[in-house]
Each structure stands twice: as structure tokens, then as C-alpha cells.
Amino acid sequence: MEDWALIRRLHAEGVPKTQIAKRLGVCRNTVIKAVASDRPPRYERSPGPNAFSAVDPAVRALLAEHPRMPATVLAERVGWEGSITWFRENLRPLRAQYAPVDPADRLSYRPGDQVQCDLWFPPARIPLGAGRDGSPPVLVMVCSYSRFITAMMLPSRTTADLLTGMWQLVSGQIQAVPRRWVWDNESGIGRGGKPADGVAPFMGSLAAALVQLKPYDPESKGIVERANGYLETSFLPGRTFAGPEDFNTQLVQWLGTANTRRVRSIAARPAERIGQDRAAMLPLPSRAPVTGCRRRVKDDPLAAGES
């Protein structure tokens, strides 16, 4: 890089190319290339075989039969003795080639029709104050047509906190009301086709329908479950959090980028399709729905005058 800069300076000063080559001890072609290029030369190492190349054929053979085999098991089967992190980095692009088609990708979704909801429990300890830590649930809601991901950490999985989170995500991030909300048998939402207390009025105030899935029905909720995995592998690693509020701040920032990635199954970016989703959704109600019941005075020591 220093020679490149010096060659261009000498040439600008009018020194002939042949004289520059003699002065710097380089060939004349090097001087000609440096004068013609407006950028310094970059050394680019040509890709070559590495340690993973030796086990690549064996890994591919196993993936062809067992595409979801964990990386640690694959490494053991092929006799890998190096870094498991390096193994995973080389495995990741291969696994995508052999992964079976997600059942959710075989379904078609209409704009505005559906949002899939689920709870993700991040494998991380979040400071909760007073010297305590824990892993609070994260409510994840994905619009099925656009694949637009919304999410936030909740204080708990109680009905009141779930409904509050659902309203905050739909009003703040989705900005319209999907016509159908798909849930599994989460106790705070309801089980056996029977909504938990407060859920029916909440859905009614949004004029939307709650769809509760039968147990062991992954095909109908594959989009949000895949989003959970995406959060765990792409958002969480390498991050630390000062608390739930900091977790949500970082999460919102990350989602802004995540929703601009190109999703192979829809051949588009969620941020590009969310407009079509919103246009076909229901409008937000003029008044926020009730998301929980107030505690009775006798159950609240502060309200009762106790301290």
C-alpha cells in the first residue's frame, strides 16, 4: 500500500514511469497498474481446503439421512477433533441444503388474515433486581403472510401480562389487527378450546378471532416456532442485558434489521410485505382493550393503607 501511494505521488509530480520503477526497485508493469488504479491493492487469499474439508463428504452423507442431527453428534460420528465452534460455522451452510421443507412453507396465507403467537424462553439469566435473576418469557408474534416478526419480554405468562403484551405488540409494532390469532394450549390463553378468563372480551374488543390449536399440531404454528429458533441463534448470542427493559430495547433494535432480511420461503423481505398485511387487517380500536382485572382492595396491602 505504501508503494502504491508513493508511485501515484511521484507520477503526479511528473516523474516518468520507468524512473519510478528503477527508484523503487519494482517492475514497470507494477507502476502502470498503480497509476491506473484509484484504490490500493488488496491481498485476497484464494479459498483452499481446510480441516473441515476432510470430513465434508461424511457430514453430507449423514445430513442426507438425518438433516436435523445435532452438530455435536455429527462431529462425533465423523471423528472431528477440532473446535466445535469452527465445526458449527462450516456446518451451518451445509445444513440449509439438506434441511427438509418446513411444513409452514407449504401453506399459503392471505394478507392480514393471521398472526401466530408463542412464548420463547431465552436460555439466558436476566437481572431482575434485588439481587435476583431469571429467564422471563418472551412473547413472539409473527404475521404469517409477511413473516414480520414482533416480540417483547413479559414479566410473566399470566393472562394479564399476555394480553398486555399482545396489545402492545399489535398497537406498537404491527400497527393493525390481524383477523385471526393462532395460539397453542398456553394456559394463560386457554386450553381445550376454552379461553381463559378475560381473553374472550379482549379478542372481542379487537373484533378478531382466537384460534386455539390441538395439542401436537406443529404444522399450524411452524412460522412462529421457526422465529423462536431464529431469535435464539441470531439475536441472543454474545449479548448481555441489564434487565428486561434493556432486553426489550436491544430486541426492538435487532428486529428492525431482522425484518429486512430476505426470507427464502416468500422470496421477499418482511419489511416489504408488512404494508400489504396491514392494509388487509382490521383497524386498531379507538380505545385500548381491557387486559387484566384489578385486584380487590383487601388483596392489595398498599390500597388498604398498610405499609
Q: Which long-range contacts (CB under 8 A, 24 or more apart) does 274-277 make?
A: 274/143, 274/146, 274/148, 274/174, 276/111, 276/112, 276/145, 276/146, 277/111, 277/112, 277/143, 277/145, 277/146, 277/148, 277/174, 277/176, 277/178
- Evaluate whether residue 95 is within a structural domain: yes
How do residues 187-212 score in pLDDT, each as one tens digit? 999 987 789 999 998 999 898 999 98
- Evaluate whether residue 303 is within a structural domain: no
pTM over 0.75: no
d(CA 141, CA 41): 48
Q: How does DSSP classify residue 139? A: E
- Evaluate whether residue 231 is within a structural domain: yes
d(CA 49, CA 54): 8
| Res 97 pLDDT > 80 | no
How do residues 128-148 score in pLDDT, each as one tens digit? 988 899 999 999 999 999 999
pLDDT of residue 26: 79
pLDDT of residue 284: 93
* Domains identified in the chain, total number: 3
- Which of 44, 68, 100 represents a domain boundary (last residue)? 100
How do residues 147-163 score in pLDDT, each as one tens digit? 999 999 999 999 999 99
- Evaluate whether residue 288 is within a structural domain: no
Task: Give me Rg for the CA atoms of the chain.
Answer: 28
Give the Å distances, CA to CA, from 189 to 136, 181, 196, 206, 289: 17, 11, 5, 15, 16
- Evaluate whether residue 126 is within a structural domain: yes
pLDDT of residue 85: 84
Q: Are residues 125 and 273 in the same domain?
A: yes
| Res 254 pLDDT > 70 | yes
- Evaluate whether residue 307 is within a structural domain: no
Q: Are residues 171 and 240 in the same domain?
A: yes
- Domain with residue 148: its CATH number is 3.30.420.10
| Res 297 pLDDT > 70 | no
Q: Are residues 177 and 269 in the same domain?
A: yes
- Evaluate whether residue 301 is within a structural domain: no
Q: Are residues 86 and 115 in the same domain?
A: no
% of the chain beyond a pLDDT of 90: 48
d(CA 146, CA 267): 10
- Evaluate whether residue 241 is within a structural domain: yes
Total residue count of the chain as it appears in this document: 307
Other beta carbons within 10 angstroms of residue 260's beta carbon come to 11
How do residues 47-88 score in pLDDT, each as one tens digit? 556 778 889 889 988 888 888 888 888 999 999 988 888 888
Q: Are residues 110 and 254 in the same domain?
A: yes
Q: Are residues 93 and 111 in the same domain?
A: no
Q: Are residues 223 and 268 in the same domain?
A: yes
Q: How does DSSP classify residue 177? A: B
Do residues 224 and 118 touch, judged by C-beta distance below 8 A? yes
Please compute the mean of the pLDDT values over residues 302-307 and round it to a whole number. 30
> Does 278 or 65 have the greater pLDDT score?
278
Q: Are residues 166 and 194 in the same domain?
A: yes
Do residues 199 and 190 touch, judged by C-beta distance below 8 A? yes
| Res 303 pLDDT > 60 | no
Q: Are residues 95 and 115 in the same domain?
A: no
Q: Are residues 110 and 23 in the same domain?
A: no
Structural domain harbouring 17: 2-36
pLDDT of residue 172: 95
List all residues 6 or more positions away from 17 whose beta carbon is below 8 Å from its beta carbon: 11, 28, 31, 32, 35
Other beta carbons within 10 angstroms of residue 269's beta carbon come to 16
How do residues 10-40 score in pLDDT, each as one tens digit? 777 678 888 888 877 778 888 888 888 766 6
Q: Are residues 124 and 213 in the same domain?
A: yes
Compute φ and ψ for 186, nearest 5 degrees. Answer: -65, 130
| Res 278 pLDDT > 60 | yes
pLDDT of residue 131: 86
Q: Are residues 9 and 87 in the same domain?
A: no
Cα torsion 132, 133, 139, 140 to 10°: value is 160
d(CA 283, CA 178): 9
